[in-house]
């Protein structure tokens, strides 16, 4: 059971909505800063974010978690992309603000993404990560994701996981 506040809500959100833009920017900022070992620059962040087409229908979707009106995290699903077979989706852009971590928000976001994947007929969720993102890897393992063969063309991917949806 989650210890996240009861007023947290997770909903489909357009990638260009201000709440989505805020948490996606924070996600890339944290990820890039950890990778480079220094604060990421605005051009680096916007280059990684791109236009968000992979998180727009029909290719994908974005879920945003909110604590009241405040966005606290996000997770994306890609239904199309390199290395994905029919019936597979990719979980991507998983992020929870530091102040909201350890309260169950990550597990709730992944659970909501898995439910959305089921609604779209997916039987398998794939994801990739970097080895230094130990918190994320721990979360994925705790939720039943298991190591799998590499897929796709993400140049930063170092570990790959998959979970069959029951």
In this structure, what CATH number is given to the domain that contains residue 58? 3.40.630.30
Considering the domain boundaries, does residue 2 fall inside one? Answer: no
Considering the domain boundaries, does residue 146 fall inside one? Answer: yes
Band (pLDDT 50/70/90 cuts) for residue 5 is low
Placement of tokens 């947290």 in the chain: 8
pLDDT of residue 165: 98
Angle at alpha carbon of residue 2, lines to 164 and 23, rounded to 5°: 80
Band (pLDDT 50/70/90 cuts) for residue 102 is confident
Considering the domain boundaries, does residue 1 fall inside one? Answer: no
DSSP string, 24-65: HHHHHHHHHHHHHTSPPPHHHHHHHHTT-GGGSTTTEEEEEE
Calpha distance 69→34 (Å, rounded): 28
Q: For 103-151, what is each residue's pLDDT tens digit?
A: 888 999 999 999 999 999 999 999 999 999 999 999 999 999 999 999 9
Instruction: Provide the percentage of residues in the chain whose pLDDT is more than 70.
Output: 96
Domain count, the chain: 1
pTM of the model: 0.92
The domain in which residue 105 lies consists of: 8-164
CA 5 to chain centroid, in Å, comes to 20
Is residue 109 within 8 A of residue 96, CB to CB? The reply is yes
Longest CA pairwise span in the chain (Å): 41
């Amino acid at each position: 059971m989650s210890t996240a506040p009861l007023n947290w809500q997770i909903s489909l959100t357009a990638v260009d909505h201000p709440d989505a833009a805020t948490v996606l920017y924070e996600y890339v900022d944290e990820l890039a800063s950890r990778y480079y070992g220094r604060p990421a620059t605005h051009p680096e962040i916007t280059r990684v974010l791109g236009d968000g087409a992979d998180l727009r229908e029909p290719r994908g979707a974005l879920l945003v978690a909110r604590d009241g009106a405040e966005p606290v995290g996000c997770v994306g699903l890609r239904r199309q992309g390199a290395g994905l077979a029919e019936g597979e989706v990719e979980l991507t852009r998983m992020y929870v603000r530091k102040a909201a971590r350890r309260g169950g928000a990550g597990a709730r976001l992944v659970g909501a993404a898995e439910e959305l994947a089921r609604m779209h007929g997916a039987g398998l969720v794939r994801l990739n990560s970097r080895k230094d993102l130990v918190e994320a890897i721990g979360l994925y393992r705790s939720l039943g994701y298991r190591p799998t063969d590499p897929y796709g063309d993400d140049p930063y991917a170092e570990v790959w996981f998959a979970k069959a949806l029951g």
